[in-house]
Structure 1
Amino acid sequence: MEFDIVSLSRLQFAITALYHFLFVPLTLGLSVLLAIMETVYVMTGRKIWRQMTKFWGTLFGINFVMGVATGIVMEFQFGMNWSYYSHYVGDIFGAPLAIEGLMAFFLEATFVGLFFFGWDKLSKLGHLVATYAVAAGSNFSALWILIANGWMQNPVGSAFNPQTMRMEITDFFAVLMNPVAQAKFVHTVSAGYVTAAIFVLGVSAWYLLKGRSTELAKRSMTVAASFGLAASLSVVVLGDESGYLSTEHQKMKLAAIEAMWNTEPAPAAFTAFGFPDQEARETHYAVHIPMVMGLIGTRSLTTPIPGINQLVASAEDHIRKGIVAYDALQKIRAAGSEAAVPAEARTAFEDNGRWLGYALLLKRYVDDPRTATDAQIKAAANDTVPGVLPLFWSFRIMVGLGFFFILLTATFFVLSARRALDHHPWLLRVAVFSIPLPWIAAELGWVVAEFGRQPWIIEGVLPTAAAVSNLGAATVLTTIVGFVVIYTVLIIIEMGLMLRAIKQGPEPDTEPEAILASPTIAPAE
């Protein structure tokens, strides 16, 4: 890696995001599982379900605190490392972040306190409402974050203002209803549900192997298996929707994921295996499955998926149009007032303004894009291709894990229905060793989503290289080292607290049993 400010700023944000995302999925999924368990407790009065809610709630609380601690830093980075990005799109990007902080996070944080300290102060129904509010707040928080992120992937409802040199909102409802954002939200949340389900399944399997807290473990596995199976199936369906939207809005990302170097006759084949060679623009030892990619990516038999080489050629054309827009923008800025803007400059910008971001790709090679040579334009067009090899394999490992989760949860769902959860110790061991796998899948999903849209920080609008703050490389490198050290310590602390809580097991519940059952007839004396 080159130790320049852009690479280091990207590395810092990637590290902090990957660390933070270790906590987010479990928070999302456990919050819903807690609501399910407590609902059963309120409906039946069985104290085992209260004990389950409290036990898994303890693990949720540890994870929640760490998620908050690592998440706050990420928002400050927009001002520290990405100041031009904040200036350029702050009017749009800042709105969902502010709403997330004011509405979702405060809702979640407030009711988390009621969840932990309200067991003996609230009625059963009142505490259940607090638990549902925690779940709603957690998921609502993710919604606003992913609306902001979805806009970066598909910048709808906005326009560039030549006078302010900023992107501004033209339709806030379009930002909210952005199809990319909605697809990312449901896909990410479902992945969080899978993570929590596998976590509960694995920990409960460990208890069964140890012969401890077996009643709690079996009930927890039953809930986790059914919840996890539904979530795993939804992840596949919703992931397919994300892929379909990439065909419309992020063609280069999809082509890179598939290592599709040239446009194939429709319907395109899916490359199940291979080793992409980005320099040679070919995939070695490729194994193709006919028609599958065309059906997934376009949902038709006649629509082609453009290849990387063809998309690079299109990018070169967009860069040339962007240069025209950049020249018109300079004339508009030089005019000083709206009335003094030359008509030809106004027309040129209206016709080519949508490609202005492509001209900014040339800033890596030349200060003034209008002076770029043909070689520099071709180099900038080639920069629109992200790293194909890491995308190709990240996607396939993620998908493979997704199908494994379906198989695992379906197996335990069947065992639960047959009341045979503890009949196969080897399956219990598989569940225990599967605990880390959802986190691997989630992190790889992040790599696919974020690494796949490079070189753009905002797709087609602002290149990543143009969005950084004017900092020294040594300064950023120092903060990277600091973040790695601090976050590693936090993860060690969390792992220690979680393992101690699991080894200690659920606390005995002294609440009197209150089973809601039909009356019985007393025996005759």
Structure 2
Amino acid sequence: MDALDVARWQFGVTTVYHFLFVPLTIGLSVLVAILQTMWHRTGNERYLKLTKFYGKLFLINFAMGVVTGIVQEFQFGMNWSDYSRFVGDIFGAPLAIEALVAFFLESTFIGLWIFGWDRLPKRLHLAAIWAAAIGTNLSAYFILAANSFMQNPVGFRINPESGRAELTDFVAVLTNKVALVTFPHTLAGAFLVAGSLMVTVGLWHVMRNRDSADTGAYRFATKLGSWVVLISSALVVLTGDIQGKIMTEVQPMKMAAAEGLYTTESPASFSVLTVGSLDGSRELFAIKIPYLLSFLGTGDPNGTVQGINDLQAQYASQYGPGNYAPIIPVTYWSFRFMIAFGLAAAAIALLVLWSQRKGRTPTSKWLLRAGLVMPVLPLLANSFGWIFTEMGRQPWIVFGEMLTRDGVSRSVSLTEVLTSFTAFTLIYAVLAVVEFKLLVRYARAGVPDVTPDDDTDDTDDTDDAERPLAFAY
């Protein structure tokens, strides 16, 4: 084990941990805005209660996402300084815009939304949550544009004197074909997570508090969340199909590794299960669906999909001696776990809708148990999706331009990286407990009472501006 190994583990752990909060924040921001819009248009207190209820869960998650996200950018300078020097001119641009525009937009308007209840006009207050939601989604786009450069570098040139990558076309970076398809795919996955949480909380209250006056609100939330999950699942499949074709074009080794395809095939079969040799050089046993991989990768059932061994020979000739294949079992199984967990969440959402057909109240304990684990499934799907994306690119940190081993900080020792890795892991473990307890506590508390206070003294002439700001919840 050396500093490179630990630096990779640290970045992987902190990034996956951070991304547990990101999709929920992205999805809930829009769903809360939709609920408040419904209240604004109808005046129905049900939607106001749900807005404040899920809005509280959104704010808890947003705060935790901000805290864990700050660490990501620090690591570029601490553990990956050679990478930062090489690509900072390009990678820094979208990240700077994300911080200066998108993040400030969302954080500013979230503040207005929190403290603007009964202070801002209803339309302006509604606009604040929509602005925050738009800022959240813009943040996702700029970050994905930066990551997409690592997958498919465009809009740059290599300075022969400094050896650094220099930005030549910022529009090309923002319109990278990988970014254009990764963004909707990521958003669909985010709504899958947010919809699942909405289902879980609503279903728990529907089944545990059947005689509550707010049962109607919970039933609506459960149905809305279920439909969000089903629609998001369909969009994940659609955008994933497009993403697979682009991946076959720009990163054929990743596609070959995802399918355990060792030799070039035309037509190529989709691997349901493949067992390879220990050295990852050949296939020993496989269960396959004919023609499917060719269609997924090229859009043509008879299309050609390159194999791992042929690509390895090609890259060794192009880039020099070395192993250019990722860790096949990790790439292969992370791709399948991503699909399996996402489909499982969609199946539970379908069962929840069926259990509430024609006004029925679900009673199955098994359904409740499935509902309680439901948010974990799309979170796992998102995590395995990112593991596949990043591990499938290896050994490149910037595909075709810089190897991961060349991006690590040369002056940082194994002890230093190991110390920071241990510290962050322990801190994140504590934060995970805090986040979980807060979400469970406020989810179990149920929707708030939004009845106006009838005891207000109308003769009180105290200047409202002199009253202290109060958190709306």
TM-score, normalised via structure 2 length: 0.92
Residue 119 of structure 1, aligned match among 117, 120, 128:
117
Deviation at 1:415, TM superposition (A): 5.0
**Are 1:242 and 2:260 matched, yes or no?**
no
Deviation at 1:424, TM superposition (A): 4.8
Give me the whole-angstrom Cα distance separating, in 1, the residues matched to 2:452 and 2:243. Answer: 47
Alpha-carbon separation, structure 2, partners of 1:15 and 1:262: 33
Quick check: 1:170 aligned with 2:140?
A: no
Q: What value does the CA root-mean-square deviation take over the aligned residues?
A: 1.6
CA offset digits 1:205-246 (Å, max 9, x no partner): 111221154222111112112222111110011111111111
Query: 1:274·1:284 contact (CA, 8 Å) conserved in 2?
Result: yes
Deviates more, 1:28-37 or 1:408-417: 408-417
Contact 2:36 2:47 in 1 (8 A): yes
For residues 511 and 278 of structure 1, do their structure 2 counterparts lie closer, same or farther at Cα, with a shift above 3 Å needed? farther
The answer to whether 1:502 aligns with 2:446 is no
Does residue 315 of structure 1 match 2:315? yes
Pairwise CA distance, 1:406: 2.9
Whether 1:78 aligns to 2:76 is: yes
Residues 1:469 and 2:409 aligned together: yes
SS at match of 2:349: helix
2:468 corresponds to:
none
Whole-angstrom distance in 2 between the partners of 1:141 and 1:410: 31
SS where residue 369 of structure 2 aligns? helix
Deviation at 1:511, TM superposition (A): 3.7
Q: CA deviation at 1:423?
A: 5.5
**Displacement after TM superposition at 1:284 (Å):** 3.9
**Change over 3 Å in CA distance of 1:455–1:36 after alignment to 2:** same
1:366-515 matches, cutoff 5 A: 377=321, 380=322, 383-415=323-355, 418-422=358-362, 424=364, 426-470=366-410, 471-511=412-452
How far did residue 414 of structure 1 move? Answer: 4.8
Q: CA deviation at 1:421?
A: 4.9
Q: Percent identity?
A: 42
Between the aligned partners of 2:179 and 2:33, the Cα distance in structure 1 is: 26
- How far 1:70 sits from its partner (Å)? 0.3
| 1:158 corresponds to | 156
Deviation of 1:274 after TM superposition, in Å, equals 2.7
Q: TM-score, normalised by structure 1?
A: 0.83
Structure 2 equivalent of residue 221 of structure 1: 222
Q: Distance in 1 between matches of 2:368 and 2:356?
A: 13
In 2, Cα distance between equivalents of 1:258 and 1:172: 34
Residue of structure 2 equivalent to 1:275: 275
Alignment of structure 1 residues 176-255 onto 2, 5 Å: 176-211=174-209, 213-255=214-256
| CA offset digits 1:106-162 (Å, max 9, x no partner) | 001011112211111112211111111111111110000000000110001111110
Q: Do the aligned residues in 2 keep the contact of 1:275 with 1:389 (CA within 8 Å)?
A: no
User: Quick check: 1:205–1:429 contact (8 Å CA) kept in 2?
Assistant: no
Question: Is the Cα contact below 8 Å between 1:252 and 1:311 reproduced in 2?
Answer: yes
> Per-residue displacement from partner, 1:323-366 (whole Å, max 9, x unpaired)?
xxxxxxxxxxxxxxxxxxxxxxxxxxxxxxxxxxxxxxxxxxxx
Contact 2:207 2:361 in 1 (8 A): no
In structure 2, give the amino acid aligned to 1:281: S
Tell me the secondary structure at the aligned position of residue 418 of structure 1: helix
Deviations 1:257-312 (A, max 9, x none): 10001111x22100101333351523344111111101111101332101000001
CA–CA distance in 2 between the matches of 1:189 and 1:51? 26
Aligned residue pairs total: 450
Flag structure 1 segments of 5+ consecutive residues without an equivalent.
Answer: 321-376, 513-525
Q: Work out whether residues 206 and 218 of structure 2, in 8 Å CA contact, stay in contact via their aligned partners in 1.
A: yes
Select between 461-470 and 116-125 the one with higher mean Cα deviation.
Answer: 116-125
Q: Counterpart amino acid of 1:410?
A: L
Question: Structure 2 unaligned runs (5+)?
Answer: 454-473
Cα distance in 2, alignment partners of residues 406 and 303 from structure 1: 31
Structure 1 or 2, whichever has the larger Rg, is 1
User: Which amino acid is 2:314 matched to?
Assistant: S
* Secondary structure of the corresponding residue to residue 62 of structure 1: helix
Larger deviation, residues 268-277 vs 153-162: 268-277
SS in 2 for 1:162: coil
CA contact (8 A) 2:195 2:225 kept: yes
1:398 and 1:445 in contact (8 A); partners too = yes
Query: Residues 57 and 439 of structure 2 are in contact (CA less than 8 Å); yes or no, is this contact kept in structure 1?
Result: yes
Distance 1:84 1:178 in 2: 24
Taking a change above 3 Å as real, the CA distance of residues 159 and 70 of structure 1, as seen in their structure-2 partners, is same
- The answer to whether structure 1 residue 263 and structure 2 residue 264 are counterparts is yes
Letter in 2 for 1:88: F
Indicate if the aligned counterparts of 1:28 and 1:138 stay in contact, CA closer than 8 A: yes
